[in-house]
Structure 1
Amino acid sequence: MSHWITVYSFPISKDLSALFRLIQRYQLPLRIAEEKNQQALLTTDSGIAELLKPLLQDWERGLVDLDRVQLTKAEPEAGDHLPGEEGQATKEKAPVSPSFLPTFPMDKTPISLLLIGLCFFGWFLHSNNLSAPLLIYPDTSGGPIFSQSSLMWHLERGEFWRLWTPAIINLSFQHALFNALAIWILGRPLEARGGPFIYSLLVLLGGIAANLSQYAWKPEVIFAGMSGVVYTLVGFAVVMQRWQPAWRDIPPGIITLAIVWMILCVLGVITYFTGIGIANAAHLGGFFAGFLIALVYCVAGGARKFNSYPAST
């Protein structure tokens, strides 16, 4: 006789129609029953219960859309045999596991959407020669004394916003588009999981660290762009993927590609072939800021929000 175990319990008022459609779509060995004034999702397969519980937690929090989730069959392991082979044990359906590349409701990622809009707004300002109030003026004095620098000149006048706002200005449409896509891919998963407060803090501190790093490295050059913030997100994601190996909202290959690109830029390879000046210090400053912020966040226990399987579009 089958022993049913509870995968997850929902309030009696919760609409489970999307869950029912998921069960029907993949013919999952699950059933829904009312128990103790709650709706219980039951199964006889403990493996499926373990895999689905994080996904259901995210669904209940509104982070995923079950109608857009794709479940993929696990590959057979060594020693497994197909049903019907003579003299061999047979197995039932291979367990399913949620795949990556998630989708998140727009209302869960308002800061990321704002940043994407600012990328193009900054390009508009630059194209119309309106960006000067947001940039840090280049320091042409050549002296090492910070108190006489152009940055201190801004700060003495209370223009503290200039510590971050160079991130808004993008110098071309392609520059704005590249950074906007990076925010969409990297930023939205981090914001949806971590919440708007920690994400806003990450973006703010990372942007300041990136801008100060670039100014310290080459104060005589005007710099701008959201790339420093993007690499703050990369640094944060690097730590998170190692702290929570089950978290795959951002495919590891994308993080690897971003790091390889940063290294090629630092080595001068990209500038050599394209002739485009790159704010390498901003990339490095943002990356290490995101890395350190993630370490503090994880040690403080925040990583538990990332301990789940994502949904896929």
Structure 2
Amino acid sequence: MRQIGTLEKQSSADRLAAYLVTQGISAHAEADGAEWAIWVRDENRLEEARDAFRDFKHNPDDSRYKDVERTASQLQREEAAQREAARKHLVEMRGKWGKGGVAKRAPLVFVLVGACVMVSLWTKSMNGRATPEQQKLLFASADSYAKANPDDPARAFVDIRKGEVWRLITPIFMHGGIWHLVMNIYWVYYLGSQIEHFEGTWKLGLLVITAAVLSNTVQAISQGPNFLGISGVGVAFFGYVWIKTKYDPSSRMFISNVTIVIFIAYLFYCLFQEGIANEAHFAGLGVGVIMAYLPLLLRPTGKN
């Protein structure tokens, strides 16, 4: 969010903010000392907003500003209605999926959850002991990593460079305990099912692969290959739905402000805990935010 300027009167600031809203630019006015500041949320339309600010200061009585506050109020009510519809639709979907419909409505989410459960059981990763099965799926096996040159910046890729490219993704399917598994698959289900339902299996698949590869790679380079869990992907889902809820109400995705605060607070709480793949978390968050926001940046920005 950026400030584009200040005006002396609240009425003028409110009128300009309303005008910007009618042009599709999210804006509001707030007190700034003795003046009123106009704030713009849409970074990609900042210059357009600044041009509008200059035009308004030059001629605040122009006919284009007539009745803009009423029009803006109507637009904001419509946006609020869209958000409420999305929230109600999410509750409705939960009811349907709770009756066994997730396999049909979100098949990839169903596969991801099933894979996490089955692979965690097969590799015995929840027992807290290293097994040969785990070593085949980690970013790099403990033996290969130990034998690799410690001064090699690409040491974590020792097995991947041998052609074992599945290791870029497979750590996400193993979990270190029952609560680790349950918490992660809950977020995958809750957030991923929205993405798949509204934007399709291919879009969700692209997000999963991108988030898995990048979050695993960042974690391996920064802390070594001994990590597991789908939390990096789950956090990517959170970032994606968060941006869609905030900036694209037409997407019909929804996450409440309370959930957003709790989720972000938990991410920062994890920074002070040992044995947490924090680098994977924040890499996944970046992937989700960018993949959700990039299409919005590339939208045509012509005036309505």
Structure 2 length normalisation: TM-score?
0.60
Matched-pair contact (CA < 8 Å) for 2:244–2:253: no
Judge conservation of contact 1:126–1:171 (CA < 8 Å) in 2.
no
1:280 CA drift (Å): 0.7
Q: Show the counterpart of 1:295.
A: 293
| SS of residue in 2 equivalent to 1:143 | coil
Q: What fraction of aligned residue pairs are identical, expressed as a percent?
A: 23
**C-alpha distance after superposition, 1:30-49 (max 9, x if no partner):** xxxxxxxxxxxxxxxxxxxx
- 1:99 aligned onto 2:103: no
| Superposition deviation, residue 142 in structure 1 | 6.6
Structure-2 change in CA distance of 1:289 and 1:283 (3 Å): same
Summarize deviations over 1:266-299 as a string: whole Å, max 9, x none. Answer: 1x1x44xxxxx11111111111111111122333
Alignment gaps of 5+ in structure 2: 1-77, 94-100, 126-130, 300-304
Task: State the shift of 1:245 in Å.
Answer: 4.0
Whether the 8 Å CA contact 1:229–1:286 is kept in 2: the answer is yes
Amino acid across the alignment from 1:131: Q
Partner residue of 1:146 out of 140, 153, 156:
153
For residues 284 and 196 of structure 2, the distance between their equivalents in structure 1, rounded to whole angstroms, comes to: 17
Partner of 2:280: 282
Amino acid at match of 1:194: E
Correspondent of 1:234 among 226, 234, 238: 238
Q: 1:258 aligns with which of 260, 263, 266?
A: 263
Contact persistence 2:120–2:174 (CA under 8 A): yes
Against the structure 1 CA distance between its residues 187 and 252, is the aligned structure 2 distance closer, same or farther, given a 3 Å change threshold?
A: farther
SS of aligned partner of 1:146: coil
Work out the number of aligned pairs and report it: 207
Give the deviation of 1:165 after TM superposition. Answer: 0.8
Contact 2:116 2:175 in 1 (8 A): yes
CA distance in 2, matches of 1:175, 1:261: 14
Distance 2:223 2:111 in 1: 29
Please list, as runs of the form range in 1=range in 2, the aligned pairs for 1:7-18 lying within 5 A after superposition: none
**Structure 1 residues 185, 238: closer, same or farther in 2, change over 3 A?**
same
Tell me whether 1:169 sits opposite 2:158 in the alignment.
no
2:209 to 204, 208, 217: 204
- Tell me, in whole angstroms, the C-alpha distance in 2 between the residues paired with 1:230 and 1:215: 18
Residue 198 of structure 1 aligns with an amino acid whose one-letter code is K
Contact 1:189/1:250, CA 8 A, preserved across alignment: no
- Larger RCO: Structure 1 or Structure 2 (Cα < 8 Å, ≥ 6 residues apart)? 1
1:114 counterpart (111, 127, 131): 111
| Uncovered stretches (5+) of structure 1, i.e. residues with no partner | 1-49, 56-69, 72-96, 272-276, 302-313
Q: Give the letter for the 1:134 counterpart.
A: L
Match of 2:30 in 1: none
Tell me the C-alpha RMSD between the 2 structures: 3.2
**Could you tell me which of 137, 155, 162 is aligned with 1:134?**
137
Looking at structure 2, the residues matched to 150 and 98 of structure 1 have their Cα atoms a distance apart, in angstroms, of: 43
Amino acid at match of 1:180: I
Change (3 A) 1:297 1:115: farther
Paired position in structure 1 for 2:122: 125
CA shift at 1:235, angstroms? 1.4
Task: Name the CA distance, whole Å, in 1 between partners of 2:265 and 2:226.
Answer: 25
TM-score by length of 1: 0.58
Aligned-residue offset at 1:300: 4.7
Residue identity in the other structure for 2:110: L
1:280 & 1:118 partners in 2: Cα distance? 23
> Where is the helix percentage greater, Structure 1 or Structure 2?
2
* CA distance in structure 2 between the partners assigned to 1:297 and 1:142 by the alignment: 42
- Counterpart residue identity of residue 204, structure 1: I
Q: Find the aligned partners of 1:284 and 1:110 in 2 and give their Cα distance.
A: 26
Q: Deviations over 1:160-181 (max 9, x none)?
A: 1110110011111221111111
Cα-to-partner distance string for 1:115-170 (whole Å, 9 max, x where unaligned): 111121122023173222111235345734235x241x222321111101100111
Match of 2:175, SS state, is: coil
Alignment of 1:78-97 (within 5 A): none
Distance 1:207 1:280 in 2: 14
